Structures are given as C-alpha cells and as structure tokens.
Amino acid sequence: MKKTNEKSRMIIVFEQTLDTRACNELEEELIRAMDDCESNGLPVVFDLTEVDFIASSFLRLCMKASRQLGSENVSIVNVAPPIKKVFKIAGFTDYLSIC
C-alpha cells in the first residue's frame, strides 16, 4: 500500500491481491490513514490498478472508511470489471463512487 497526499485528497494505491490475510496486515495502516484524512478534512481515493482480487475483508475496510469519512469522501478508482462486479453485487455501487 502506497499513500500519496495531494492538496485536496489522499490517494492510497493497493499493490496486491487483497485477500483476507493481506487485508488483516493492512488494516492498522489503513485505519491510521483514515484518521489522518478525518483530522485534515481530506477525502480518500483507493486506487486498485494493480489489484486482481478482493476478499470480503476488503469490502469491510471500504465500509469502515465510508462510515468514518462519509461515503461522499471515499472513491475507488481503476477497478477491473470482475472486481467492479463484486462491489455491485455487494451493493457498494449504490453509495460509493466506483470506477
């Protein structure tokens, strides 16, 4: 996971398959990043360019981010079609920006 702070947002690039183990390893770092966003009033962008699989654990992390920052402040970009389908089936496309 790489974090980049821009003036108006934080971009988090995920660089691996986001299975349960990977999500458990990333959770603390991601929580700290969400705390930073919240304290600085920044929206967050999750970039999934290099991700080819997500587990339900990643959906849970996305939901946590949405609850903490507000769904209008969480965007998920560069999502491969099979992963986008998972977000759609789970109902995430109803309240998060996923493209």
Residue 97: predicted pLDDT: 95
Q: How far apart are the first and last CA of the chain?
A: 19
Residue 86: predicted pLDDT: 96
Nearest CA to 36 out of 1, 59, 4 is that of 4
Residue 33: predicted pLDDT: 96
What residue ranges do the domains of the chain occupy? Answer: 2-98
Task: For the chain, give the mean pLDDT.
Answer: 95
Given a cut of 90, whether residue 34 has pLDDT beyond it is yes
**2-98 falls under which CATH superfamily?**
STAS domain (3.30.750.24)
User: Contact 29/1 with Cβ under 8 angstroms?
Assistant: yes
Mean per-residue pLDDT for 60-71? 97
Given a cut of 90, whether residue 16 has pLDDT beyond it is no
Q: What is the pTM of this model?
A: 0.94
